[in-house]
Amino acid sequence: MDGATQVNEHYLDNVMLVAEGRLIEASEDIFSTNGMKLVAKGHQINTRIRDRLLEHKLTKPLEDCLAVADGVTAAHCLVVAERLLARHPVLKALCGDDADGPLAVLGQATFGGRLQTLMTVYNEHRAGKIDHAMCVALIAMALLHRLPGHDGHGLAVMLVAGLAHDVGELYINPEYLEGGRKLNTQEWRHIVAHPVIAHDLLKDLSGLAPEAALLILDHHERLDGFGYPVGHKQPPPSVPAQILGVAEMLAGLLDKGNSFLQHATVATKLIHGEFSRPVIDVVNRAYHDCLVEDEAIMDTPSLEATLQTSKAVAERMHRVMEVQGAVAALVQKASPAFRQLWTQALERFERIKRAWSSTGLDVQPDGSWLLQEPPDMQREVAIVLMEVRWRLRELDREMRSRVAMKAPGELPLLERYLQEVQRRVGEVVLPPEPPATPA
């Protein structure tokens, strides 16, 4: 981010939102590349100068030219952490009170410069962001703390990674981040860029930020290559990066209550080769360490609800297999790039199907045998079904993104395939044969 930089409109708008409630000022003179002083040192950043900043390229990144009064500090984060621990006994049990544990590391942390500015803007531009970031950081540190060979330095890096893991979202159109919005391929490509953006913002800073940036870059990657932003198998994401990814997943489950850590044990081992053995083991260890607190918030879904989910999963599975067979001839005529992506998707689907089969509901769909199983087994079956539904949707999304990047000429074929999968009744309608694609 050295040299001439263009101000990101979405980041600046988020700065403006935060500036409505606290003082943000220029920490130095802000110049355009043609030598014009746009903002003087000490001048308050407000909506009156927004357009001026957007109209020019700057000699230095805006992120390095701002000072936020009373920005996010370790003391501020500690207050948030204590509030979260009081609300969630299972989180408190997970973090523990070791002298070298997560809370001790948090109490010794310091943030400054661009890192503090970014964390402050991210955590205050919308309600609830500081809670989410702090929750991810606490869970990630607690899991890493249980990993053999961990040290205080690693926990300190994980703290920064957890607090800053989503700062890249500040640079994305906020409409794309709205819950429940169905994203098209182009919009999803913006979302998957947020780890790259965060990495680029932090990688050249002093202190712990560069190491944290590497964890953030890879925390959505998976060992089997089905992740983002790159979706690579080699080099594999590090164990700390995987732990950060698990922590974000767990943070999303915490407020929902039931089976917080049991859900994690199921999700991390659901798809063979998705997470490494050390990560699976440390999640299992955390579950057994906090079993009493985790069981206190568990709620076993009714058999009726589980069977409804199972029926929906079965219909989807059968439809996918049916349509895959119907389009096989068309796929063979597609480009080599598309055929490779299709093969990878089939392999992923087979792993998801094996996870579904592990419930036994594919061969005994009435589920009556579940009534004889203990509550923890009933919950595990429900969690598997929930995760299978999610992974199937995730696979569709990933295929759209990958085909758009590597075989855009076959997007119409893929979309027709996905439309057919969504059909619940009637015969498979073969999509028209696409124009020949050069090999």
Domain locations in the chain?
Answer: 5-68, 74-295, 303-422
Query: Once rounded to an integer, what is the mean pLDDT over residues 54-72?
Result: 92
Residue 423 in this model has a pLDDT that exceeds 80: no
Residue 425 in this model has a pLDDT that exceeds 60: no
Which tens digits make up the pLDDT trace of 230-266?
Answer: 887 778 999 999 999 999 999 988 877 667 898 899 9
Residue 429: what pLDDT? Answer: 44
Residue 439 in this model has a pLDDT that exceeds 80: no
Residue 432: what pLDDT? Answer: 42
The answer to whether the CB of 165 falls within 8 A of the CB of 179 is no
Residue 87 in this model has a pLDDT that exceeds 90: yes
In terms of C-beta density within 10 A (0-12 exposed, 13-18 middle, 19 or more buried), how is residue 195 classed?
buried
Query: Once rounded to an integer, what is the mean pLDDT over residues 381-401?
Result: 90
| Architecture of the domain whose range is 303-422 | Up-down Bundle (1.20)
pLDDT above 90 covers a percentage of the chain that reads 63
* Structure-model confidence comparison of residues 433 and 28, the more confident one: 28
Residue 143: what pLDDT? Answer: 97
**Protein fold of 74-295:** Hypothetical protein af1432 (1.10.3210)
Whole-angstrom Cα distance, residue 84 to residue 78? Answer: 10
* Structure-model confidence comparison of residues 140 and 428, the more confident one: 140
Q: Are strands 24-26 and 37-39 parallel, antiparallel or unpaired?
A: unpaired
Whole-angstrom Cα distance, residue 11 to residue 15? Answer: 6
Q: Which residue, among 62, 76, 176, 199, has the nearest Cα to 117 in the 3D structure?
A: 62
Residue 163: what pLDDT? Answer: 96
Out of 231-245, 287-301, 383-397, least confident range: 287-301
User: pTM of the predicted model, to two decimals?
Assistant: 0.90
Task: For residue 192, give both structure tokens.
Answer: 């998957």
Task: For residue 65, give both structure tokens.
Answer: 């030219």
